[in-house]
Chain A
């Protein structure tokens, strides 16, 4: 019996060491990944001025919240900060930016349809929280940090 115990104890040394090393690497790996993810998300969260909540439009983005930064180019092009892959949206459709006064404005850049809570926008209009912003067929709800 003692011989079997000794053999088992000698063999299990490697398992104990393996388990400890895996736990250590796991803990260190998760820590690094979590730190990087958190830093990225917090940077975006802290520099954002609010977000657009997509109510209708392309199926894959309905329900998504898109963060708004100080300056945002909206359109269908990949170069845009906020991209809506919908035919009704122009390549560079509009721009949302925060003025020095703290107010947030929407600027129309192309001929495409833009409306805020049912009112058509010709050139420029101020945005407020809970406004319904329509860009082509994409309908979003505006949420601004300073208004909430």
Chain B
């Protein structure tokens, strides 16, 4: 009885070939050969090769397929960013290297941790501190006030906070906690969402509230209360629509962006036109007009991907997120403790909701709220936070793998 863990070397090789061919093509875009672009492609290939093999070497039971999907999405993002602006792409590559270290550290921490105990109250304070710091010190970019600058360095506190939010939520839903603790947690969540709404970070607010609701349902199984929470969320959204003019504007643009195509609806209209002009097979890498799309390196990067690589490629990207979600759910279902299961469920849910909110916004399925597309959009804090969430998923996968191997060895089998 042998459990064969399948490697994903061939898929990794294909990802490397994809990114190398794209970067070498882009190197010829302007007259002559851009050596910087070629080196960028080689740098990315080297980084994912080293980090994949290192991860498989250090953590025997790491979920390799999840890691490969993560690298696939990152490669799409880096190639698109390199096409738009090589400086941003290089910065993103450096963030990817840093994020990989964070992923490894998170795996070690999650593998050793049980449920963080009272440390969760400290994490709650840290989350609130980070979110309130945006109200006090953040600069407004793209309508949302969520960037904090320290000298030349800038970061998004809400991105770091979301990793801790998942841990805190998993702790409170894993067991039946005393009433004061639950009240404390409910107030904490409400404060998080309220602070984000005040910062105009509606995407972040929706992400936190949505993740809370899904984790609440997964943790307690109470359908009525979940729907009640959904009702409160809808009432909040309705009140925001009437109270805040920017929310009202977003909804009106969503209903008919063509009416505002020169003003507030410009982004969505340009995004939709880019997707349509790309067609099924795309305009070709470097042959589209992504400069016409505002915020093309972050919020609207999906429109750029569809324009240059085609709608089929865009659908494949969405399906890759879907496979990522399914793998996350399988890891959550295999987890030994409720805390671990909720941790993975929360991390998967947060990444999937984030993808849905921004892709849905770009294709006019839901009102647009500024948020990054996980692994793909430019943004160091976002990439590191997404990789930390992958670290949470992988940490529990390693725990599951060790437990499974113990069972298999006791039955005379082995894991190869």
Contacts and interface: CB of A to CB of B under 8 A. Distances in A.
Interface in A1-33: 1-2, 4-6, 8-10, 12-17, 19-24, 26-28, 30-31, 33
Given A23-B15, A42-B404, A67-B412, A9 B25 contact: yes
Best-surrounded residue of A10, A13, A21 (most CB of chain B within 10 A): A13
Given A24-B320, A30-B8, A33-B6, A10 B1 contact: no
Interface residues of A, number: 46
A7 to B, nearest CB: 9
Interface stretch (B64-72, B134-142, B266-274, B347-355): B64-72
Given A27-B68, A27-B323, A31-B326, A17 B25 contact: no
B411 A45 contact: yes
Contact of A27 (B11, B25, B281, B411): B11
A62 interface: no
B119 interface: no
Interface in B96-142: none
B3 A6 contact: no
B309 to A, nearest CB: 6
Interface residues of B, number: 49
B408 interface: yes
Interface stretch (B49-57, B189-197, B311-319): B311-319
B78 to A, nearest CB: 14
Given A44-B1, A44-B411, A22 B21 contact: no
B327 A67 contact: no
Nearest to A35: B330
Interface in B33-89: 65, 68-69, 72, 76
A46 B310 contact: no
A67 B21 contact: no
A28 B321 CA distance: 11
A83 interface: no
Interface stretch (A47-55, A72-80, A99-107, A115-123): A47-55
Nearest to B414: A65
Best-surrounded residue of B15, B327, B412 (most CB of chain A within 10 A): B412
Contacts of A4: 28
A24 B309 CA distance: 15
A124 interface: no
B336 interface: no
Given A26-B14, A30-B6, A6 B413 contact: no
B65 A31 contact: yes
Interface string A82-121: 0000000000000000000000000000000000000000
A96 B8 CA distance: 41
B283 to A, nearest CB: 8
A33 B410 CA distance: 23
28 contacts: A5-B25, A5-B29, A9-B285, A12-B25, A12-B285, A16-B21, A16-B285, A17-B316, A19-B14, A21-B312, A23-B15, A23-B18, A23-B72, A23-B320, A24-B316, A28-B323, A30-B11, A31-B323, A41-B1, A42-B404, A42-B408, A44-B1, A44-B413, A45-B410, A50-B410, A65-B413, A67-B411, A67-B412
Top 6 closest A-B pairs, CB basis? A51-B412, A65-B412, A9-B284, A48-B411, A45-B411, A20-B316
